[in-house]
Structure 1
Amino acid sequence: MGWWLADSWSMTRRELARWARQPAQVIVGLAFPVMFLVVFAYLLGGGMRVAGGGDYREFLIPGMFALTMAWGLEATMAALTQDLNKGAIDRFRSMPMAPSAVLVGRCIADMLQSVLGLAVMIGAGLAMGWRWHGSFGEVLAAVGLLLLLRFAMLWCGIWLGLIAGRPELIMSIQILIWPIVFTSGVLASPAFMPGWLGAIAEWNPITATAAAVRDLFGNPGVQGTSWAAENAHLLAVVWPITLVAVAFPMAAARFRALSR
């Protein structure tokens, strides 16, 4: 166990060293969600409505926190496919180290980057006038749900990255992922969508997390009478756990198959 922890930390330090060598890439990754938030809050937000009334920015910003956690999937895929194509993972697997440390190091580094990205987004939201109205414990619970979603997306990204294998295939996978990301209650309330689309949006894992954190922050939330809308807190936990339960063993099996 001690050697496994040491190997995992070595892989994590490798990713941290990459940040230091390529700070522009890190800065762009942190700035993109903020720019997206500004576009919707100031340019498009004037024409948006919130079910049950309320300020659109109060509705939007917690949803953007959830969207930022989901977007991390693409960064994980890109980094993993680059290592695969450069032969880095093959070299690591040939060394006297725990093979699983490669994925664990990737996981820890991406979670650290997600914590930093979420902190930047919260700071941007506060600068735009957003405020939470819940207790300190509720705020911590909201942050925990957001990071839980990111953890689930991370393992989905690892699995998809191992399947893609090449950076040029990531765009094809993104084309399939983005409709799932935007078919949610992050930017608009499902109540204003066509009935069939609103039902899909209410059951979206990202919608569940966004609705739960809005409630914990005390911001305007998604109004609905469906089971999914009324049990967003439960779904915000069940969905990520289910995704990890599916993606983790499939990613591990795919990683083991690389040597065959």
Structure 2
Amino acid sequence: MSMLAYDGTAMLGRQLLRMRNNPGLLILTQTMPISMLLFFGYVFGSALAMPGAAYRSFLVPGLLVATAAGGIMTGMFQAAQDTHRGVTNRFRTLPMSRAAVPLGQAAADVVVTAVGTVPFLLVGLAVGWRIEGGPLEAAGAVGLLMLFRFACTWAGIYLGLLTRNEEAAGQLGGATFLLPLLSSAYIPTTGLPGWLRTVAEWNPISAVATALRDLFGNAPVPEGAAWPTAHPVAGSLMWCAVLLGIFVPLAVRQYARGER
């Protein structure tokens, strides 16, 4: 365990340095949610039943979660890039824990996401979003958001190690943009057709978005929703546990499998 902690910290530093040396990608990933907030909030907000500031208060938590789900794409691309360029093979020759490399990547991604969340929330405050709940609930919302990002990044790391190709990972990662569209990230699910509402409410993004809205005090839990959305905090923790339980061992096993 101490070896994993030491090696994981070293890999965390390596990933942060890597991101610092690629400022273009970092700026793009941090400014995209702000651009979407302004576009959706002011363009789509005028056409929905919750116009103006009310819709923007609904939208901010949804965009936070949609951005967290983007950990699948970033984790996939970075893991595939390291594998394709032979970096992963060089790490395998070192006397270090086999879980340290994916753990360092996932931890660094969470750190960068946490830092990038600050300017997004400041813009959210400027357009009318407010924390209506208590400070403990708000802290819990942020913690839940980071846990979801951590879990999504592990899923992306496994897929990146599996594809082993930057181009393929980029194309596959683009498909993850569909996931927030089939959720309550941008619009309420109450107006969707029955079967589509069920699909959207069992989407992990819907559970986490609803949990954030509930903890921030921005919107009530919808009535008659599927279990993960009707009990959003428990549903979010369940989905995070499922993602981590599946993809952490798969990613570590896939990383070690390259040695043979």
- TM-score when normalising by structure 2: 0.93
Deviation of 1:2 (Å):
4.0
Deviation of 1:50 (Å):
4.2
How many Å separate the matches in 1 of 2:53 and 2:192? 18
What is the RMSD computed on CA atoms of the aligned residues?
1.9
- Show the counterpart of 1:197: 196
How many Å separate the matches in 1 of 2:143 and 2:7? 27
- Show the counterpart of 1:24: 24
| Aligned residue type for 1:195 | G
- Show the counterpart of 2:47: 47
Deviation of 1:95 (Å):
1.7
Equivalent pair of 2:221/2:230 in contact (CA under 8 Å): no
Structure 1 pair 25–54 and aligned structure 2 pair: CA distance change class (3 A): closer
How many Å separate the matches in 2 of 1:196 and 1:50? 23
Structure 2: segments with no counterpart, 5+ residues: none
For residues 31-57 of structure 1, the C-alpha deviation after alignment (integer angstroms, 9 at most, x for no partner) is: 111111111011222112249x98111
How many Å separate the matches in 2 of 1:210 and 1:246? 22
How many Å separate the matches in 2 of 1:50 and 1:203? 23
Structure-to-structure mapping, 1:1-260, within 5 angstroms:
1-50=1-50, 55-174=54-173, 176-221=175-220, 223-228=222-227, 229-260=229-260
How many Å separate the matches in 1 of 2:222 and 2:250? 36
How many Å separate the matches in 2 of 1:28 and 1:227? 35
Structure 1: segments with no counterpart, 5+ residues: none
Structure 1 pair 175–65 and aligned structure 2 pair: CA distance change class (3 A): closer
Structure 1 segments, 4+ long, off by >4 Å, are none
Equivalent pair of 2:183/2:203 in contact (CA under 8 Å): yes
- TM-score when normalising by structure 1: 0.93
For residues 48-74 of structure 1, the C-alpha deviation after alignment (integer angstroms, 9 at most, x for no partner) is: 2249x9811111111111111111221
Equivalent pair of 2:198/2:226 in contact (CA under 8 Å): no
What is the percent sequence identity of the aligned residues? 34
Structure 1 pair 8–165 and aligned structure 2 pair: CA distance change class (3 A): same
For residues 90-126 of structure 1, the C-alpha deviation after alignment (integer angstroms, 9 at most, x for no partner) is: 0111122223221121122111111112222212211
| Aligned residue type for 2:225 | S
Aligned length: 259
